Chains A and B, each alone.
Chain A
């Protein structure tokens, strides 16, 4: 019954060599079955080899010690660590007759993120992301007091369901499901609530998608204890829907074109107590109902036009708030910051950008350069979700963003980003003597920010 030792050793060796890695002992079944079929070994000998390989796998590999759910078909663990040196200047709007104040700051910051994304059977999925810093619009943790350690927060936790290639549903706190730019959505923010995507596959790789999201922006108390002041609290929801059309042309020259018109609006509610505090919208009941925004982002990509691996990209975004008049009145005039009747209400914002690069940022030597210009009307956007690095979330700004990135290795890159912004409409926030304070929505005259990042991905 016992297999001859020499034969066993030879077979073990050949199977192991054939498999290259002991960790792939689980794959040995077909090879052993073939050896049995050809009469080289019998079933019991094959079983002994299989058991020896599994023991080796179990004893000498980390994977062999994991006891994962049978429902799990794929578990992707990923993350990144970013070390940032940031220099910033915020110049306030000066009271007439006085000099503007320039607040300068230099910070060393780190960002750590750990992501787990699970694919389960029958189209189900789930995942999470842990990261430094509590603010949703920045996972950066400034290196502060030597006596302080830093917290880890749950930045994503979601379930998903894909019953077919056409439908995808997700709920919880998840990656942004919309095609967008950082004119509208800060790339660090993970929306929360529910989202659905329906994809229609057209000719070749062309697709037409309908994306929708019902996003929780703030949970408010609907009722308060008897005897207390009455409340009109209603949860704040953002309803975002988008049509995304992608046309593919080829692997060279004009590669693809993408258009993604959309419309986003809120229910009538209040967004308060934002983590970032005073640089957000000063909330009041019902303020969000004046955000009914048409969005028109898109991009055109060119590939291999200056040699294999090169890419040229043009991208843009445009927004128009159809409730801008009311928004301007509520957001800016509220509290005594009155706008002259003739003033542009800042209903529109836009961004145009150009990018050039080599590779996908995944291999040593890959690089990319990007530059964009944008204007943000004071009523055109929701400042709770716009890019926190551009003018520190303030609206009524115009300016540039420049960035360049170079891959030092396949997994480490160096990135330099520079923002320069200034006030878009000088008739807002005039600091006239009658105005007691700045509306924090638009209280900066100009900003400069330089970020130097070392990124390591794993």
Chain B
């Protein structure tokens, strides 16, 4: 009798576990602030037994979470570094990147700033601290205030690679936790400049600056990102330990589905097709 009760309790517990699947997703703020929570809500509506734990604290934390085994999906707006790959291999983790959407890093200024376009060279010089006053790039005199992401952000390192020839940011630059914070600070500061993902360039109080590429002024858009003419375009990733399985595989499949990609497009990302 006692054995029967124990067996019944164990079976009940097992059933409960099977129904209360929890998907832990960590990493990029670019993906984790809007896109993935929205996808998760839609996914939960179709799969009521699934719950999500989403922590958007930067791509570095997402890649580390896969290496440490503390998340099933690591969101990242940058590729894993060789040292991260090496650390993963040392722990028997097979880092597998899957592109889930494209993004363009938009250069934003305060909406009252008269500067409408900048060359790639000027952008590099501004963020590296070589140019410190708006008057040097056709704006009214005033010290340029630079807002960047913090060092755990994939956008932070992506922007250095894509726009700054891998140079370091100006010492005076202010590090922000996320895209929304950068957009909010630039909206408050008429001398501000920063960068945000495509999903944030229409935030209130700011405007995107066109990038002058060989005489052609290019704004970040779905078209310029997809045809790869916009210079600061990049893929965004889900990292998993090998091919994903279980609920992680299903959520990845949902993300890549037409429905998932439509959500990505609606939020401001560029869908894969």
Contacts and interface: CB of A to CB of B under 8 A. Distances in A.
Nearest to A43: B99
A94 B184 CA distance: 88
Given A43-B99, A50-B79, A54-B80, A71 B86 contact: no
Interface string B98-136: 110000000000000000000000000000100000000
A55 B89 CA distance: 8
Nearest to A44: B99
Given A44-B98, A51-B97, A121-B168, A64 B79 contact: no
B22 interface: no
Contact of B82 (A64, A70, A121): A64
A121 to B, nearest CB: 4
Contacts of B128: 122
A253 interface: no
Interface in A39-58: 43-44, 47-48, 50-51, 54-55, 57-58
A59 B128 CA distance: 34
B253 to A, nearest CB: 9
A26 interface: yes
A67 B96 contact: no
A66 interface: yes
A2 to B, nearest CB: 8
Contact of A47 (B85, B160, B167, B235): B235
A37 B86 CA distance: 29
A139 to B, nearest CB: 34
B66 interface: no
A1 interface: yes
A59 B86 contact: yes
Contacts of A105: none
A65 B85 CA distance: 9
Given A43-B99, A47-B99, A58-B89, A66 B83 contact: yes
B235 A58 contact: no
Interface in A277-322: none
Interface in B34-62: none
Contacts of A70: 157, 160, 168
B85 A54 contact: yes
A70 B168 CA distance: 8
A25 B82 CA distance: 10
Interface string B163-175: 0001110000000
A43 B82 contact: no
Interface string B118-161: 00000000001000000000000000000000000000010010
B96 A51 contact: yes
Contact of A58 (B82, B97, B228, B243): B82
Contacts of B96: 51
B79 A54 contact: yes
A1 B99 CA distance: 10
Contact of A64 (B85, B157, B228): B85
A66 B85 CA distance: 12
A57 B237 CA distance: 21
B63 to A, nearest CB: 12
B95 interface: yes
B228 A37 contact: yes
Given A47-B99, A47-B235, A67-B83, A59 B89 contact: yes
A58 B86 contact: yes
A71 B272 CA distance: 34
A64 B87 CA distance: 10
A70 B166 CA distance: 9
A29 to B, nearest CB: 9
> Most chain-B CB neighbours within 10 Å: which of A37, A58, A66, A73?
A58
| Range, interface on chain A | 20 to 34
B167 A122 contact: yes
A54 B98 contact: no
B256 interface: yes
Contacts of A44: 98-99
A54 B99 contact: no
Given A59-B86, A65-B86, A51 B167 contact: no
Given A47-B99, A51-B97, A64 B86 contact: yes
Contacts of B167: 121-122
B167 to A, nearest CB: 6
B156 to A, nearest CB: 10
Nearest to A122: B168
Nearest to A51: B97
A121 B166 CA distance: 9
A141 B128 CA distance: 47
A1 B256 contact: yes
Contacts of B243: 2
B168 A54 contact: no
Contact of B97 (A47, A59, A121): A47
Given A70-B168, A122-B167, A51 B80 contact: yes
Contacts of B256: 1
Contacts of B82: 25-26, 54, 57-58, 63-65
Interface string B252-273: 0000100000000000000010
B173 to A, nearest CB: 13
Given A59-B86, A64-B83, A66-B83, A71 B235 contact: no
Contacts of B99: 43-44, 47
Contacts of B79: 47, 50-51, 54
B228 to A, nearest CB: 7
Interface in B205-253: 228, 235, 237, 243
A73 B160 CA distance: 13
B214 to A, nearest CB: 17
Given A58-B82, A64-B83, A65-B83, A51 B228 contact: no
A339 to B, nearest CB: 59
B17 to A, nearest CB: 29
A67 B157 CA distance: 15
Interface of A: 1-2, 25-26, 37, 43-44, 47-48, 50-51, 54-55, 57-59, 63-67, 70-71, 73, 121-122
15 contacts: A37-B228, A43-B99, A43-B272, A47-B79, A51-B95, A51-B96, A54-B79, A54-B82, A54-B85, A55-B95, A58-B89, A64-B86, A65-B82, A70-B157, A121-B168
Given A47-B79, A47-B99, A51-B96, 11 more contacts: A43-B272, A51-B80, A57-B82, A58-B82, A58-B85, A59-B85, A63-B82, A64-B83, A64-B85, A64-B86, A70-B157
